[in-house]
Structure 1
Amino acid sequence: MSTRTSPLKLKLPLTLWNIALALFSITGTIRTWPEMAHVLTRFGFHHSVCANTFHKEVPISSFWTWLFILSKAPELIDTVFVVLRKQKLIFLHWYHHATVLIFTWYAYADEASTGRWYCTMNYGVHAVMYSYYALRALGVRIPRQLAMCITISQIAQMVMGTFVTFYAFYAKSNGRQCDMSFSTLYAGIAIYISYFILFAQFFIASYLVPKKPKKTTEAKKT
């Protein structure tokens, strides 16, 4: 007799969880992006990448950056839902959650200036992503094109994250002021390149490669 348990539905807790993360991400976006826009328009791109003033001089951005770092621990509950509902736990899912938790805490301890970009981009993407998940949990039919756009936004985030980190590395290597350590830069480059590869592979497998038809349970008679 099989001891395999049936997958749990968990519709209500899953819906509430995704709504909570969506609201948190939306609020984080609203609270951090004005500082980013101000820095870009007043001081330029280099300052936005290499000055960690958002850590030390802007209380609102500093607070919401701290909340962003803390949020990476409870976001692991996403994996718990996958396991309890007996969905396929792909490498991208657990690798991303585990490494982003480690890297964000490490970069925060370093007061890395690139954190301004990491934080604001992730808040924005998660605001849309968790809103999408909440609607799906509620049973709302979402166009496939929207799911594609969310994955594309994640890939764009990885491309920009890689560019920002490479820029900081180039600036610091050439003697310009950049408020972060080389160890954080090395880790950031490795992390973002790996994320880009994995999300690109996921996009191709999910939306570009034709799906194989499901096999019937009975073999065809010859």
Structure 2
Amino acid sequence: MANITYGSLEGGFFNKMIDYLIDKLEQEIHTDELVDSWSLMKTPWPILFILAIYLLFILKIGPKIMEKRKPLNLKYIMMAYNLMQMIYNFIFVTNIFQPELFNAMISTLCRESSIDFHIRLRYYSFCWYFMFSKVLDLIDTVFFVLRKKQSHVSFLHVYHHVNMVISIWLFCKFFRTSCGAFVGLMNAFVHAIMYSYYFLSAFGPIMQKYLWWKKYLTRLQIVQFIIGLTYGFSLFIFDCEFPRLFTIYMIVDVSLFLYLFLVFYKKTYSNESKLK
């Protein structure tokens, strides 16, 4: 009899959770005809196809092709790519810092209802450009494979790239709240600095003595995750106008990123200190 009661309670809790999730999905997920008309946004299939080709190449096809070949010299291609990414992210950041948009972002960190429609529409477009930048980030891994640096194709690296594309696509497709602009701005700023480092490092040994700040770049990424996690919890604490489901997802996702980056930092720089 006790088992039946326990099972009933367990089943009741499970059913309530399902009902809660369905209710939240109906309340928080919505599409927009204009956004759906943009490239890659109508259905998830184009993005999933890109990710499938990406994973297939970096994990199977690429290593097989390069198995008996010498590493490709991609110095100038990589420099052009890193410079383009650096400029792309800096432009993204400077556009958000336009007075009208920046003031709107600050005023809607928790509440979005007061934002003008034309400002909201501009944030929609920024969301798409941000998502597209994450698609461009996938090229990083292709360079690793073609240069036969397969050890760089770690779980953290691949998970980070794939997860970011999927997460930002879902956000742009179904949520699109301006409350998320702060996180995008912070991420673009970090990536602008990161690609600046990559661009300079492509010059080779002549530039190495000026790149002592690599460790601090990783620290900056970790700080980014801590701020993002704090912001995620504050959305709950202050009952902000941000989708609850995406907030939960964001907290779990950023927590995992933070853990993986801390492990990477400890492994990389503690070993570096021992070698010195």
TM-score range, shorter chain: 0.7 to 0.9
Q: Compared with structure 1, are the counterparts of its residues 61 and 33 closer, same or farther at alpha carbon in structure 2 (3 Å cutoff)?
A: farther
Q: Which residue of 1 aligns with 2:216?
A: 149
1:190 offset after TM fit, Å? 1.1
**In the comparison of the two structures, how many residue pairs are matched?**
202
- The amino acid that maps onto 2:216 is C
C-alpha distance in structure 2 between counterparts of 1:69 and 1:52, whole Å:
24
Q: Which residue of 1 aligns with 2:54?
A: none
Indicate whether 1:23 and 2:87 are aligned.
Answer: yes
Indicate whether 1:84 and 2:182 are aligned.
Answer: no
C-alpha distance in structure 1 between counterparts of 2:116 and 2:161, whole Å:
24
| TM value normalised by structure 1 | 0.80
Q: Which residue of 1 aligns with 2:112?
A: 51
1:64 offset after TM fit, Å? 2.7
Q: Compared with structure 1, are the counterparts of its residues 29 and 142 closer, same or farther at alpha carbon in structure 2 (3 Å cutoff)?
A: farther
Indicate whether 1:171 and 2:238 are aligned.
Answer: yes
Deviation digits for residues 142-161 of structure 1 (CA, Å, limit 9, x no counterpart):
54531011111100110111
Deviation digits for residues 33-90 of structure 1 (CA, Å, limit 9, x no counterpart):
345752576x4xxx32442777944255443332111221121111111111111111
C-alpha distance in structure 1 between counterparts of 2:184 and 2:230, whole Å:
15
| Identical positions, percent | 27
Q: Compared with structure 1, are the counterparts of its residues 55 and 22 closer, same or farther at alpha carbon in structure 2 (3 Å cutoff)?
A: farther
C-alpha distance in structure 2 between counterparts of 1:54 and 1:144, whole Å:
42
Q: Which residue of 1 aligns with 2:170?
A: 106
C-alpha distance in structure 2 between counterparts of 1:157 and 1:53, whole Å:
27
Q: Which residue of 1 aligns with 2:136?
A: 74
Q: Which residue of 1 aligns with 2:265?
A: 203
- Check the 8 A contact 2:197/2:211 in 1, yes or no: no
C-alpha distance in structure 1 between counterparts of 2:274 and 2:218, whole Å:
22
1:9 offset after TM fit, Å? 1.9
Q: Which residue of 1 aligns with 2:198?
A: 133
- Check the 8 A contact 1:56/1:62 in 2, yes or no: no
- Check the 8 A contact 1:54/1:61 in 2, yes or no: no
C-alpha distance in structure 2 between counterparts of 1:60 and 1:40, whole Å:
11
SS at match of 2:126: helix
- The amino acid that maps onto 1:191 is D
SS at match of 1:138: coil
Q: Compared with structure 1, are the counterparts of its residues 128 and 184 closer, same or farther at alpha carbon in structure 2 (3 Å cutoff)?
A: same
- The amino acid that maps onto 2:81 is W
Deviation digits for residues 173-202 of structure 1 (CA, Å, limit 9, x no counterpart):
xxxx51x32221121111110111111111
CA RMSD between the two structures: 2.4
C-alpha distance in structure 2 between counterparts of 1:132 and 1:182, whole Å:
36
C-alpha distance in structure 2 between counterparts of 1:54 and 1:86, whole Å:
49
Higher helix share: 2
Q: Which residue of 2 aligns with 1:186?
A: 248
SS at match of 1:135: helix
C-alpha distance in structure 2 between counterparts of 1:29 and 1:167, whole Å:
23
- Structure 2: stretches of 5+ with no match in the other structure: 1-66
Q: Compared with structure 1, are the counterparts of its residues 125 and 210 closer, same or farther at alpha carbon in structure 2 (3 Å cutoff)?
A: closer
Aligned with 1:93 (options 153, 157, 162): 157
- The amino acid that maps onto 2:125 is F
- The amino acid that maps onto 2:84 is A
Q: Compared with structure 1, are the counterparts of its residues 120 and 52 closer, same or farther at alpha carbon in structure 2 (3 Å cutoff)?
A: farther
Q: Compared with structure 1, are the counterparts of its residues 15 and 144 closer, same or farther at alpha carbon in structure 2 (3 Å cutoff)?
A: closer
- Check the 8 A contact 1:8/1:85 in 2, yes or no: yes
- The amino acid that maps onto 1:141 is Q
